[in-house]
Structure 1
Amino acid sequence: MAREDINARISAVKTLEMRGGRQSINLLAEALKDERYEVREAAYHAICRLGYEAMPEMVQALKDESFYARMYAALAISDMVINEPDKKYGDDVIDALAQALLDKSIYVRRSAYDALKVLEYNKVFKSLIGSLESPDAGIRLEAIIALGRIGDKRSMKALIRALYDEDVNVRKCAIIALGRIRDKKAVSPLSGALSDPDGGVRKEAVKALGSIGGPRAVSSLIQALKDMEPSVRDAAREALSRINKSEMTRSCPTLKGGGRKPGISRICVAIEEALSEYSKERQASLSSFNM
């Protein structure tokens, strides 16, 4: 087969993708059965880019006699489910995937299994998020703990809202969960938690900020050295001391000639000065106590 003919079919696939619509998607689904690998791949990637819009055709393709059609359809559905987890997938999708688990091809079975696994995970995940609205503090607490173990960044907004929960244990566990996720977007709300009336909550916020790291977290940790609770102050000192070497190297890069970037080096100097000052104040306090 001439290379020009293959290129022409690939070009046709691109045109169909740009046009979109049911007719174009049906033709792309047919292209999944093309005799040439390059054309099949082009059609598959075009369908994936079209995303959820192509779901009905892919469900139908799972029943096609062609192995290629079934394999690419299973792969495309799996990609759609992973990339668009918040979409609502009906019983027809789940039934088709369940049937595909019995396919004679391991490639079809594996992709169908991956898609079903993500769908089940999303179902559980959404249920946990919904549980945070429960009037029962125990249920909210268990949901927070589970979300923390999962570590999905999609739970960030819900966990941040939980920082204002009336139950102190829910607030603590929300902070712990955010610390495990380690997303720098949580630094600002966690810094706000340093004003929580409960010392235990403030201590967990310090630990979480220490886990996340970065200049903004360091600034908040330095402020926490002045907390009224000794345990919070000690946690802040430990968090600042534990900020790993690689983080410090990134924050304070050494320039040729031994100098340091002036804007960034102030962060390192601030940490050293804050810890030194804290150590002096603590020593003075102990000396006063022993007199």
Structure 2
Amino acid sequence: MIHQRLASPDPAVRRVAVLDLPYSDEEDDIAPLLVTALADPDAGVRLEAAKALEGYEEATVLQALVPCLKDGDAAVREATAATLAELKQPASAAWLLPALADPAPGVKAAALRAVKALRVPEAFGPALAALADADAGVRREAVGVLGYLKDARAIAALTELAAHDPDAEVRRAAVGALGFAHESQGLSVQPALTRALADGAWQVREEAATTLAKLGSSAVATDELVRALADDYWQVRVKAARSLGKLKARAAVPALCEALQHEVSNLRKEAAIALGEIADPRAITPLERALADPDPDVRKLAKLALTTMQLNGSPA
């Protein structure tokens, strides 16, 4: 019987019983049994219970899960954070919001991660304050919350973080979060993003190349993205090519045609796609040469770009 196994003195038996609970036909409501298992003396049992509670948003479950963010076992804390991050109902935020003020960085970061997708306005203030936290993990999760909320009041703080945070991953996250800016806000954000294209960490430069395309076209952004096509890291070049295509930046055509000959096939693919989106006649001959590329995907994309240009009225 499942109850006997859950009460076994052997932690291995209890762990297996918790794993079997979701498939048991002995209980109509297994949530109370899983909640009880969250207090088991064995970390393995608590871990499986935290995992199994994913999808439950009853108040009693959340009331039991949130304290597990302070569990003495790191794996249990991580499983709890992952389960809470799957919450879908904004009302569930009521149980998470108090944890945003917890002094333990791990608890605060996990709570921020969990509350992010709920997009509750009440998280704005705590998330904005958390941008000044000494822990980089907390700052990174706070950026995620603000990016999801898309509140213009966060733009100045995110811009500052993108430029000056000592942690590269925080800078990268802040650069990505600024993609929600638009219209006049976008114009104020673009200088920060173009500076980010010169960041010392290539991951930040890669994110900046992606985010610039979300803010719309400008001569400055185009010029900086064209320069990014010569970045030391091909990953940055790929994202710059993708953005230039989305922006239909005709000024980028010569550089994109040159990228069609780069040794990295991923960059050649993106260059072909971008040239098809821009549909400038200057790209026809380089794209025709790319029809003999050794990579079949490059050949296919070059052919597609040429077809698109023909349909758009460019001379064949």
TM-score category, normalised to shorter length:
0.3 to 0.5
TM-score, length-normalised on structure 2?
0.45
Q: Which has the larger radius of gyration?
A: 1
TM-score, normalised with respect to structure 1: 0.47
Structure with the higher helix share, 1 or 2: 1
